[in-house]
Amino acid sequence: MIVTIWVDADSCPVPVRELLVRTARRRSVSVVFCANRPLRVPGAVTAAGEQVKDSTDAAGQDPLAGRESPAGRESPHGRNPPAESSPATVEVRQIPEGTVDDFLLGNLPTAGSPREDRIDLVITRDIPLAEKLVEQGVAVMNDRGRLFEQQSIRELRSLRDARAAIREQGLETMNRAVTYGRRELKAFADTLDRFLTQRNAGG
């Protein structure tokens, strides 16, 4: 069964987007990148059906490369090497009107939706969006490998709102110098690998 991942892509780091494209090929994963702006995702298909040319990521390798598979071959995803003919789709959807949040929330499958329309995982760093999705029973993870749960997302939302209120009063400034490097990417890759392994095991 193909796992479907939707990505809030406007703020998603480039290394994460590239890792998700590679994961789609290796693990029978369908990935949909949603953005308000034009987005270049090598290997993806746009809504118009255009193929985006492939390229090598900045680091030049998968952070999970080097793990041994049961057969003794190197596998970027541990014990679950992909089948050679694994179907996978990578799509970019540019949202011309409204927000990506509204688009994602408006496209959540209902109880009667076809199985192929399901959303197994959403990747976003947007705390309010994550909270709404978790309340709808959707698995949500940020780009640093944190899987949100109901209790933790409520606490994070309260902390976010409190800090926003402090900034509005001029008592604190937002730190925009937050870095995203190989350690953060590996944490994301490890959590994604565990999620996919558990989801595939559970059918």
Q: For the residues 83-95, what does the mean pLDDT come to?
A: 72
Confidence (pLDDT) at 75 = 39
The residue whose two tokens read 């944190």 is 146
- Structural domain spans, the chain: 3-202
If we measure between CA atoms, which residue out of 147, 141, 144, 123 comes closest to residue 188?
144
pLDDT for 134-152, tens place per residue? Answer: 999 899 999 999 999 877 7
Give tens-digit pLDDT for 166-193.
666 666 565 555 688 999 999 999 999 9
The DSSP H or E segment spanning 167 is: helix 150-168
